[in-house]
Chains A and B, each alone.
Chain A
Amino acid sequence: MAKIAFDQLRFVVCDDNAHMRRILRTMLRAFGSREIYEAEEGASGLEAVEAYQPDILITDIKMPIFDGIELTRMIRNPDGFSQAYLPIIVLSAYSEKSQVIAARDAGATDFMCKPVSASTLYAKIESILLNPRPYIRTATYFGPDRRRQESSFSGDDKREEDSDQFITIPD
């Protein structure tokens, strides 16, 4: 049984729309956060992350110069960026599945659709604190484990026929 001490958390909010940044700031301040820094687009977002070392980044997707997906990719560079493990919530008016997958594959920790609701924002932050996922590093991906749940399957195991295609994980 735990609740969040928001006064212990530092945020960077990256959105090209000043009104949306103000809404997010208002919500985070109401939650109790005192350290909220803003950036107007991806490049200044990256600078803000380096300068302020936030605990959580909230970023829009559609922004000028470089967008939230590119910002996420630049942060998820474990060999070149000190904040590579930073939890990133991608926030967007794009609700299409392709955009959610693009954000996930760039290494986003979570995804939120606009319009923003206070309870959803709180729940996303709570999930980051309560259930951090392991990170996965492959030749083409670095970021939180993209599998969120294990589900049982009772049908025919058709993959057995193509078992040569799969990696054998040693005991």
Chain B
Amino acid sequence: MNQAQNTQVNWPEYRVIEVKNTLGAKALIPGDPREALAAAAKKANTAVEQLSIEFPAWMLGESDRLHKIRFELTNEGYSAERLDQLFTCAHDIKGQAPTYGYPVAGIIGKLLADLIGKAPAGVQIPLPVIDQHVDTIRAIIRQNLKGDGNNQTNNIIEGLLVLNHTTLKKMRASAAAAE
């Protein structure tokens, strides 16, 4: 860890604390930084590639988690807590799916997270809209649709974008009418 030196500059409103670069002294060694970066990235990518055999199973796990939360939201009661769980799951898929080779599932995870994040408080998101996102993500994972997608997936993404825009517009109108 870098340790603060006793070279503090005292000014009336704030202090600038110069930090001794103990980390650099400990872990920087002579060598070509570009070569080091290229070699390290190559080695890491190879290691992640070896791990990738497990990615479909990991995505299936995320898909099951998404389904379970959706099931509870639909059958056991719509609540802010369950909606937050759904947001977290969609958000996780947004962040992880591209790493696991499912960028389209990541985009739809983002659309679902955005929909939940932008929904006005006190207005329920229509369950069929949530279903469309969840079912699409699950279909992509089940069908093992890796890569950047195709015309069909592009059309699905566009359709969900329009659906979300329309849904949010209606929800905001409902929220305004209720005030």
Q: Which residues of A contact B (CB under 8 A)?
A: 1-6, 8-9, 17, 19-20, 22-23, 26-27, 29-32, 53-56, 62, 83, 85-87, 92-94, 114-119, 121-123, 126, 128-130, 132-139, 145, 167, 169-170
Nearest CB in chain A to that of B88: its residue: A62
Query: Which among B35-43, B120-128, B153-161, B168-176 touches the partner chain?
Result: B35-43
Residues of chain B at interface, number, CB under 8 A: 50
Nearest CB in chain B to that of A117: its residue: B41
How close is B134's CB to chain A, nearest CB, in angstroms? 18
A residues less than 8 Å from B27 (CB atoms): 4-6, 8-9, 55, 129
Once the chains bind, are A129 and B28 in contact (CB under 8 Å)? yes
Query: Which among B17-25, B66-74, B135-143 touches the partner chain?
Result: B17-25
Once the chains bind, are B14 and A137 in contact (CB under 8 Å)? yes
B80 at the A interface (CB under 8 A): no
B residues less than 8 Å from A54 (CB atoms): 1
Once the chains bind, are B17 and A135 in contact (CB under 8 Å)? yes
Once the chains bind, are B43 and A31 in contact (CB under 8 Å)? yes
Pull 16 A–B residue pairs with CB atoms less than 8 Å apart, ordered by A.
A3-B35, A6-B27, A8-B27, A26-B51, A29-B47, A30-B43, A30-B47, A85-B2, A87-B2, A93-B92, A114-B95, A115-B99, A115-B106, A134-B16, A134-B18, A137-B14
How close is A85's CB to chain B, nearest CB, in angstroms? 5
A residues less than 8 Å from B95 (CB atoms): 20, 92-93, 114-115
How close is B102's CB to chain A, nearest CB, in angstroms? 10
B163 at the A interface (CB under 8 A): no
Contacting A at CB under 8 A, from B73-89, are 88
B residues less than 8 Å from A122 (CB atoms): 37, 40-41, 44
A27 and B44 in contact (CB under 8 A), knowing A8-B26, A55-B1, A134-B19?
yes
B129 at the A interface (CB under 8 A): no
Once the chains bind, are A26 and B48 in contact (CB under 8 Å)? yes
A residues less than 8 Å from B146 (CB atoms): none
Which one of B12, B21, B48 has the highest number of Cβ atoms from chain A below 10 Å of its Cβ?
B48
Once the chains bind, are A86 and B23 in contact (CB under 8 Å)? no
Once the chains bind, are A23 and B99 in contact (CB under 8 Å)? yes
Complex Cα spacing A134 to B18, Å: 5
How close is A125's CB to chain B, nearest CB, in angstroms? 9
